[in-house]
Amino acid sequence: MIAMGNDAGRPGRPVAQVVEKNQFEAGPISLPSKLWRILERLQRDQMDPSLSATIKDLLLGKLAEMRYLNDEEKKALGL
């Protein structure tokens, strides 16, 4: 019989616990050229690996500010 939990008293996540992974959905967006240039400059200034990472950080920050994210999600973002 295989134990499905962490009954051995060892630290760590129980064996049966599943970690939820982020799911991504790609889609095109259209923005004014001036905004694209600002985002590209911000990407360089922050040394983000991609424009997508820059946009995601900005969007998550704003969603947290607007209280669309729960406390656990905000904590994960360092907010």
Residue 23, amino acid: Q
Residues 6+ apart with CB under 8 A from 58: 42
- C-alpha 13 chain-centroid distance: 21
Could you tell me the pTM of the whole model? 0.64
| Interaxial angle between packed helices 51-65 and 33-46, expressed in degrees from 0 to 180 and rounded to the nearest 10 | 100
State pLDDT tens for residues 11-69.
Answer: 665 555 444 566 778 888 899 999 999 999 999 999 999 999 999 889 988 998 899 88
